[in-house]
């Protein structure tokens, strides 16, 4: 009886090892994981595009190549209604159910990794009238969190800004300043950003700083 149990255990371990080495249907575990990530991203394509290039008409920014940690943080904010809860944040409201469809941390991690792996798309400028020289002065208050090159700073939870959709940056600055973002009591990093948005007194000032960020994307 003990011999039969040992034999059965050995065979089970051998089968498990064989599966791990060969993967499902002949695919390697890495390839299977990538395909799963692509499948999960299918739900994002309609708004953000197949290559993560974004869609201004839908209020969906370019997301390709964003830092993995930042994508995960924002998806979790949407899932917890820390983003998209405000009545004036319509684009955020559309994003909430999409984030909630990723009903496990594993799915959030996989989608974030897949989006981060996509090549940056560097959207073409859409805003006019911004003065980058003036914007450089305003940007001095942004350096600590977003970096002198606007490439982000994970230690300060500041996302990269260089290479972002300029219309999206304007929308988010307006949202922060108006309280449509960064005012949820549990959104600690959003609350940190809101007072900085208030240092930009006008929409022109916002366009100026965005124009300067655009020079850092070149």
Token pair recorded at residue 113: 């990794």
Rounded Cα–Cα distance for residues 6 and 12 (Å): 10
Rounded Cα–Cα distance for residues 87 and 84 (Å): 8
Q: Could you tell me the pTM of the whole model?
A: 0.81
pLDDT tens digits, one per residue of 122-181: 899 999 999 999 999 999 999 999 999 999 999 999 999 999 999 999 999 999 999 999
Count of alpha carbons within 13 angstroms of residue 116, beta-carbon side: 15
Q: What is the pLDDT of residue 155?
A: 93
Instruction: Please check the confidence at residue 7 and state whether its pLDDT lies above 70.
Output: no
CB 182 within 8 A of CB 176: yes
Rounded Cα–Cα distance for residues 183 and 83 (Å): 9
Q: Provide the pLDDT confidence category of residue 30 given band limits of 50, 70 and 90.
A: low
Q: Provide the pLDDT confidence category of residue 35 given band limits of 50, 70 and 90.
A: confident
Instruction: Please check the confidence at residue 1 and state whether its pLDDT lies above 70.
Output: no
- Residues listed for the chain: 218
Rounded Cα–Cα distance for residues 85 and 128 (Å): 30
Element (H, E) at 73: helix 68-79
Query: Which residues does 95 contact at the CB level (< 8 Å), separation at least 6?
Result: 47, 78, 83, 84
Rounded Cα–Cα distance for residues 107 and 100 (Å): 10
Q: What is the pLDDT of residue 23?
A: 37
Q: Tell me the longest C-alpha to C-alpha distance in the chain.
A: 84
Query: Which residues does 19 contact at the CB level (< 8 Å), separation at least 6?
Result: none
Instruction: Please check the confidence at residue 10 and state whether its pLDDT lies above 70.
Output: no
Rounded Cα–Cα distance for residues 86 and 14 (Å): 55
Q: Quick one: three-class SS letters along 165-205?
A: CHHHHHHHHHHHHHCCCCCCCCCHHHHHHHHHHCCCCCHHH
Rounded Cα–Cα distance for residues 74 and 83 (Å): 8
Q: What is the pLDDT of residue 136?
A: 98
What domains are defined for the chain?
A: 27-121 (1.10.760.10), 122-218 (1.10.760.10)
pLDDT tens digits, one per residue of 46-104: 999 999 999 999 999 999 999 999 999 999 999 999 999 999 999 999 999 999 999 99
Rg of the chain on CA atoms, in Å: 22
Q: What is the pLDDT of residue 39?
A: 86
Instruction: Please check the confidence at residue 42 and state whether its pLDDT lies above 80.
Output: yes
Q: What is the pLDDT of residue 17?
A: 32
């Amino acid at each position: 009886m003990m011999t039969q149990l040992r034999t059965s255990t050995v065979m089970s371990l051998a089968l498990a090892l064989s599966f791990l080495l060969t993967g499902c249907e002949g695919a390697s575990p890495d390839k299977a994981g990538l395909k799963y990530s692509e499948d999960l991203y299918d739900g994002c394509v309609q708004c953000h595009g197949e290559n993560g290039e974004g869609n201004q008409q839908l209020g969906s920014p370019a997301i390709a190549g964003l830092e993995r940690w930042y994508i995960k943080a924002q998806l979790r904010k949407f899932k917890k209604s820390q983003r998209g809860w405000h009545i004036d944040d319509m684009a955020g409201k559309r994003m909430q159910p999409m984030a909630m469809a990723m009903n496990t941390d594993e799915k959030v991690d996989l989608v974030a990794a897949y989006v981060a792996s996509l090549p940056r798309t560097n959207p073409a400028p859409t805003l006019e009238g911004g003065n980058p020289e003036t914007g450089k002065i305003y940007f001095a208050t942004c350096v600590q969190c977003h970096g002198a090159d606007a490439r982000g700073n994970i230690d300060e939870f500041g996302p990269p800004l260089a290479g972002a959709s300029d219309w999206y940056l304007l929308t988010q600055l307006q949202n922060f300043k108006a309280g449509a973002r960064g005012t949820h009591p549990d959104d600690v990093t959003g609350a940190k950003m809101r007072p900085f948005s208030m240092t930009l007194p006008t929409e022109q000032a916002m366009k100026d700083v965005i124009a300067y960020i655009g020079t850092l994307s070149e």
